[in-house]
Amino acid sequence: MISSTLVNALGLLLIGAQHVRAASTVNIASSVKADTEFTVTVNTEGLDKWGGSERWSKFNVYLTLRLPDTAKTEAQVCILANSTNLGSLSGTKSAKVKIPADAAPDGARVMASVIIYESDPYGNLTSGTRTSDRATFQGGNAKWAEFENQGRALWIPDYIPCTSYACARECGVKHWDDIKEVKDISAYENTYGCMTSCSGTTLEPWSDFVATYYGGTVNDTDSASTTSAASASATASTTTSVSQTGTSASASSSTSTDTGAADKLLAGNFSLVVAVMLAGLAMF
């Protein structure tokens, strides 16, 4: 069965602004190189008044891309660092991450988005999404897919480590004819099934998804499979170290614009997400 994480995530798409309470700022350099470690700095000082370390324990870092559509949609596409421990909440935290060369084209505009939370990034105790300013991606070798050209994103990024995003993108390319004009939920089955086969992804089998949200029957012979969350953490570009300082982030880094989860997660997602959102909201 799909965990409550996805249900809460989809509900948060509509009411995410209610979760944007903590004042945190995300900073990255003005340019980042492919397959090269860089620092994401998160100012956590403002979290103390919202419960401090008793409430906040971890943070995730996501890759947000500015897509090439005419609206310049910004969408979270994959996870860079999963379940990084915060420790105490004094000063700032910094995580080391890498963006794979095949995650975006050379010259793409990239951002780091952060969610700070207790145990579930889309549960009740979450800071909402905070996103850095845009940086220029150097050394990328990907090509935009047609769904990206149209301002669409594939899925909730927690299920796709950035080391798997190129594979997931190819699924969107391969099955574009199925999903470019969606008439019902079945249009996504091939794309979804393809993504479950990408190493490191943690999507459930399609039959489980349908059974959870649309009252279908789980087919025990369903061949779609997923890897464990531990596998995703191992294969994703997760943090190699976490450091803490007693001062705010350096002024030389790009500063962030704080926005609600709805602003970032809703933008560009396939109409499937909207459909699931309505089904999941009743369970939220």
The 3-class secondary structure across the chain, one letter per residue, is: CCCHHHHHHHHHHHHHHHHCCCCCEEEECCEEECCCCEEEEEECHHHHHHCHHHCCCEEEEEEEEECCCCCCCEEEEEEEEEEEECCCCCCEEEEEECCCHHHCECCCEEEEEEEEECCCCCCCCEEEEEECCCEEEECCECCCCHHHHCCCECCCHHHCEHHHHHHHHHHHHHCHHHHCCCCCHHHHHHHHHHHHCCCCCCCCCHHHHHHHHHCCCCCCCCCCCCCCHHHHHHHCCCCCCEEEECCCCCCCCECCEECCHHHHHCCCECHHHHHHHHHHHCCC
- The pLDDT score that the predictor gives to residue 20 is 34
- The pLDDT score that the predictor gives to residue 278 is 31
| In the chain, domain spans | 4-275
- The pLDDT score that the predictor gives to residue 53 is 62
- The pLDDT score that the predictor gives to residue 86 is 80
Rounded-to-integer distance, Cα 12 and Cα 14, Å: 5
Query: Do residues 3 and 245 touch, judged by C-beta distance below 8 A?
Result: no
- The pLDDT score that the predictor gives to residue 223 is 37
- The pLDDT score that the predictor gives to residue 128 is 80
CA dihedral 156, 159, 164, 166 (to 10 degrees): -20
* Among candidate residues 196, 212, 116, 101, the one with its CA nearest the CA of residue 155: 196
Structure tokens at 111: 């951002």
Query: Do residues 111 and 128 touch, judged by C-beta distance below 8 A?
Result: no
Query: Do residues 12 and 120 touch, judged by C-beta distance below 8 A?
Result: no
Residue 206's Cβ-count burial label (10 Å; 0-12, 13-18, 19+) is buried
Order of strands, sheet of 38-43, starting from the edge strand that comes earlier in the sequence: 25-27, 38-43, 92-97, 242-245
**Distance, CA of 260 to chain centre:** 14
- The pLDDT score that the predictor gives to residue 194 is 95
The per-residue pLDDT of the chain, averaged, comes to 72
Rounded-to-integer distance, Cα 103 and Cα 79, Å: 11
- The pLDDT score that the predictor gives to residue 256 is 44
Q: What is the pLDDT along the chain (284 residues), one digit of tens a residue?
A: 334 444 333 332 222 222 232 344 899 999 999 999 999 999 877 776 666 666 778 899 999 999 999 999 999 999 999 988 887 666 788 899 999 999 999 999 999 999 988 888 777 677 788 999 999 999 999 999 999 999 999 877 999 999 999 999 999 999 999 888 877 888 889 999 999 999 999 998 998 888 876 765 544 333 333 333 334 443 444 333 333 333 333 333 344 444 333 333 223 343 334 333 333 322 22
Rounded-to-integer distance, Cα 41 and Cα 24, Å: 10
- The pLDDT score that the predictor gives to residue 56 is 77
- The pLDDT score that the predictor gives to residue 118 is 82
CA distances (Å), origin 158, targets 31, 77, 104, 139: 24, 9, 18, 25
The distance between the two most distant Cα atoms of the chain, rounded to a whole number of Å, is 56
